[in-house]
């Protein structure tokens, strides 16, 4: 009885174990369980090794009551599991039920032919039903542990009735053989006894193999019933061993009766635990079912849960729905008990709350994403307020910004700015103030108000996160606005955006990279400046640069410097551009077009000449700590300057590397040779006429 008490406590504790505690203690409990399972075999060894303690107890009436009671428990279990099998069309459940129905039938026959109770039988006849029953039950138990594909499940389910008839026929044949005294007329009784012992040992091996095969099932589904069936198979296997080796009407012989009874009572006890927890017999043995049945159950319960969640969400939106009526319909559809319906409601509420929280967190992530986008401040704030409104559709929100020392709300109301607001406490009107902080200073506030009550702590924490993300987005928007105005005065919008995202691409301190350099200056500027007033000269330069600089920026170029009447730009840095030569050539041609349009009506204005060269250059910030200048230095730049000096007004002159890089994409003509200071041989240049599409 110590074993039964320990196992009952073990299974009673197991369902209450959760998460990490189950994993941490599983190894210790497994060892403890194995030790208790080994105790019956240890007791059997002791009884056989010490015959003086293997006491005799010949009580035929006690045997009759004990075995018949165990058979009744077994047949009830078999009937319950068979009903669950029919509800699911599940072959494994039906085979498990057949194990208990088989043992119940043969053990009941064993009880009825107890010598001296209802009839007189020999020992061979008395033990025959038990050995046959355990053998058949062991085969069925091992078969129930196999992996059931849908086809295999369908096949076994289709032959369940013939198998049940076969078991019944064997049971009837056994009874007839006993009543006719067939065994007593066999000549070699010793060989018969030996065969019966072997049969019992084989039964023990079958039950042991079945228990081992159920271990993976238990690891996947840590349910009380699975563990109890596994344990029952172990006890039935040990009972078979005790049946083979024990001495009739001695303690070693009674041991297998006790183990057999424990096996059946143990499953009945675990089913009772499950029934007390669920409040219904439906689903008691679902954990034993095939994977196909488990998947169908999960789909059914998921559908029920989704239906309940939908009802609760519709009720939250103000629709006239009756959750209790829906719960009653689901209870009838899935045969749920009141306890299971209550669990379903709680699960639906928890799932609905979790989904709502996930939706709000998704909106929060979207607000955080706004901080990485260069956009107008007003557009940003409108998006932020729209996102918060979507996350909390039933609440009211109002945005206020600090302007000229006053906090002004979108409805035109204004109040004196008194410093940081506290998001943890409502203000005097019951609203929740969520400060927007930029560089440690309160720059605004989001006022939140919930109709009919205060915000829950979880919502307050989420709203504070919204305010924090909104503050970051607002700070970045203002920073981007300032930096954008600074960067875009020198480079294209794409380059500016890339540098804001990755400043290391600017090559701070200087780095050698392949670039294309364009230098353009005004031919005849000196003569024009000597005969023209300074204000007209400045007007001309601003007009020209106002027309030509956008051309450079639109093609992805970076303006590095203005030198009076000359402008220098580079492509390929600070952002890598594989087609930098083509971009520069396109800008050179477009620059002349833009300059002609800008000089319309001013025939006396000088015209640009352009030189372009491609090659390695030192690109980076050059200068002192107090003043830096982003530029490109090297022979590539020097040659570009020399090329523009030999160009005619309106021409674009290309260096040899640029011409080779453009290849067939450009129509050029040979311009001649130019002597470059520091180079031993003259450099051949080309004149660019057009770029082919």
Domain contains 285: no
Domain contains 366: no
Kindly state the average pLDDT of the residues 5-25. 44
Indicate if the alpha-carbon torsion angle 644, 645, 649, 651 is positive or negative.
negative
pLDDT in tens, 158-176: 998 999 999 889 989 888 8
Domain check: are 259 and 327 in the same one?
no
pLDDT in tens, 471-505: 777 777 777 666 666 665 655 555 566 565 666 65
CATH code for the domain in which residue 611 is found = 3.30.70.1230
**Which of 310, 330, 361 delimits the end of a domain?**
361
Domain contains 450: yes
Q: Which helix (H) or strand (E) holds 433?
A: strand 432-438
Residue 155 has pLDDT above 80, yes or no: yes
Domain contains 191: yes
**Which of 227, 255, 280 delimits the end of a domain?**
280
Output the CA angle 572-578-580, nearest 5 degrees. 45
Q: Which residue has the higher pLDDT, 675 or 679?
A: 675
Domain contains 492: no
Domain check: are 357 and 376 in the same one?
no
Query: CA-CA distance, 297 to 334, in Å (whole number)?
Result: 10
The residue ranges of DSSP E strands in 144-235, in sequence order, are none
- pLDDT score recorded for residue 367: 62
Domain check: are 199 and 269 in the same one?
yes
**Which of 487, 518, 538 delimits the end of a domain?**
487
Q: Which two tokens stand for residue 280?
A: 């219904």
- What proportion of the chain, given as a percentage, has pLDDT over 90? 22
Domain check: are 320 and 268 in the same one?
no
Query: CA-CA distance, 321 to 348, in Å (whole number)?
Result: 15
pLDDT in tens, 20-68: 444 555 677 777 777 878 887 888 788 788 888 888 888 888 888 888 8
Longest Cα–Cα distance in the chain: 145
Domain check: are 176 and 316 in the same one?
no
Q: Which residue has the higher pLDDT, 630 or 310?
A: 630
Domain check: are 545 and 481 in the same one?
no
Q: In Å, how far are 74, 231, 429 from 3, measured between CA atoms?
A: 19, 11, 67
Total structural domains in the chain?
A: 4
**What values do phi and psi take at 616, rounded to 5?**
-75, 145
Domain check: are 516 and 482 in the same one?
no
Query: Coil, strand or helix: which one is 415?
Result: strand
Query: CA-CA distance, 136 to 141, in Å (whole number)?
Result: 9
Residue 583 is part of which domain span?
Answer: 503-691
Domain contains 636: yes
Domain contains 169: yes
Query: Coil, strand or helix: which one is 371?
Result: coil
Q: Please report how the helices 189-220 and 224-245 are oriented relative to each other, as an axis angle in degrees rounded to 10.
A: 160
Query: CA-CA distance, 656 to 543, in Å (whole number)?
Result: 32
Kindly state the average pLDDT of the residues 596-624. 90
Q: Which residue has the higher pLDDT, 634 or 345?
A: 634
pLDDT in tens, 346-362: 666 665 666 666 666 66
pLDDT in tens, 252-310: 878 878 887 888 787 777 777 766 666 556 667 777 778 787 777 677 677 766 776 66
Domain check: are 581 and 680 in the same one?
yes
- pLDDT score recorded for residue 549: 92
Domain check: are 304 and 249 in the same one?
no
- pLDDT score recorded for residue 142: 92
């Amino acid at each position: 009885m110590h074993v039964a008490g320990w196992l009952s406590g073990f299974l009673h504790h197991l369902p209450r174990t959760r998460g990490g505690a189950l994993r941490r203690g599983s190894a210790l409990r497994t060892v403890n369980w194995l030790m208790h399972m080994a105790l019956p075999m240890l007791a059997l060894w002791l009884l056989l090794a010490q015959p003086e303690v293997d006491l005799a107890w010949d009580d035929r009436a006690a045997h009759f009551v004990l075995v018949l009671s165990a058979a009744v428990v077994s047949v009830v279990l078999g009937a319950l599991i068979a009903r669950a099998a029919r509800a699911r069309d599940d072959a494994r459940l039906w085979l498990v039920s057949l194990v208990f129905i088989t043992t119940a039938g043969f053990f009941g026959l064993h009880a009825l032919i107890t010598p001296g109770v209802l009839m007189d039988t020999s020992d061979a006849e008395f033990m025959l039903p038990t050995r046959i029953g355990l053998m058949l039950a062991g085969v069925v138990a091992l078969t129930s542990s196999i992996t059931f594909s849908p086809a295999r499940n369908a096949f076994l389910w289709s032959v369940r009735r013939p198998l049940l008839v076969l078991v019944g026929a064997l049971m009837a044949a056994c009874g007839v053989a006993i009543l006719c005294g067939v065994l007593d007329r066999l000549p070699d009784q010793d060989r018969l006894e030996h065969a019966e012992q072997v049969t019992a040992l084989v039964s023990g091996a079958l039950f042991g193999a079945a228990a081992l095969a159920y271990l993976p099932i238990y690891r996947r589904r840590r349910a009380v019933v699975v563990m109890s069936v596994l344990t029952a198979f172990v006890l039935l296997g040990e009972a078979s061993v005790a049946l083979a080796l024990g001495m009739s009407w001695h303690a070693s012989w009674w041991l297998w009766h006790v183990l057999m009874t424990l096996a059946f009572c143990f499953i009945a006890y675990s089913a009772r635990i499950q029934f007390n927890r669920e409040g219904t017999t439906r689903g008691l043995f679902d954990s034993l079912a095939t994977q196909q049945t488990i998947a169908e159950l999960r789909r059914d319960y998921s559908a029920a849960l989704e239906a309940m969640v939908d009802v609760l969400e519709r009720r939250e939106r103000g629709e006239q729905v009756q959750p209790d009526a829906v719960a009653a319909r689901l209870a009838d559809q899935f045969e749920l008990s009141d306890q299971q319906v209550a669990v379903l409601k709680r699960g639906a509420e928890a799932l609905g709350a979790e989904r709502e929280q996930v939706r709000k967190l998704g909106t929060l992530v979207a607000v955080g994403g706004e901080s990485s986008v260069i956009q107008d401040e007003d557009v940003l704030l409108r998006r932020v307020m729209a996102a918060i409104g979507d996350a909390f559709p039933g609440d009211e929100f109002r945005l206020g910004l600090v302007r000229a020392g006053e906090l002004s709300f979108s409805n035109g109301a204004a109040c004196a700015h008194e410093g940081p607001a506290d998001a943890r406490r409502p203000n005097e009107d019951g609203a929740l103030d969520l400060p927007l902080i930029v560089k440690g200073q309160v720059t605004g506030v989001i006022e939140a108000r919930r109709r009919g009550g205060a915000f829950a702590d979880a919502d307050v924490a989420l709203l504070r996160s919204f305010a924090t993300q909104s503050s970051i987005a607002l700070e970045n928007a203002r920073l981007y606005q300032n930096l954008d105005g600074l960067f875009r005065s020198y480079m294209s919008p794409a380059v500016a955006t890339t540098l804001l995202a990755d400043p290391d691409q600017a090559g701070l301190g200087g780095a050698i990279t392949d670039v294309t350099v364009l230098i353009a200056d005004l031919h005849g500027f000196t003569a024009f400046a000597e005969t023209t007033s300074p204000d007209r000269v400045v007007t001309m330069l601003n007009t020209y640069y106002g027309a030509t600089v956008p051309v450079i920026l639109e093609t992805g170029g970076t303006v590095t410097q203005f030198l009076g009447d000359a402008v220098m730009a580079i492509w390929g840095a600070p952002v890598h551009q594989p087609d930098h030569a083509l971009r520069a050539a396109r800008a050179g041609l477009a620059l002349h077009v833009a300059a002609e349009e800008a000089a319309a009506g001013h025939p006396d204005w000088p015209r640009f000449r352009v030189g372009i060269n491609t090659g390695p250059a030192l690109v980076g910030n050059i200068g002192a700590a107090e003043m830096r200048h982003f530029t490109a230095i090297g022979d590539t730049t020097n040659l570009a300057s020399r090329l523009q000096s030999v160009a005619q007004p309106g021409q674009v002159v290309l260096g040899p590397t640029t011409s080779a890089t453009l290849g067939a994409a450009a129509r050029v003509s040979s311009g001649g040779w130019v002597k470059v200071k520091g180079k031993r041989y003259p450099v051949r240049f080309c004149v660019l006429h057009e770029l082919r599409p």
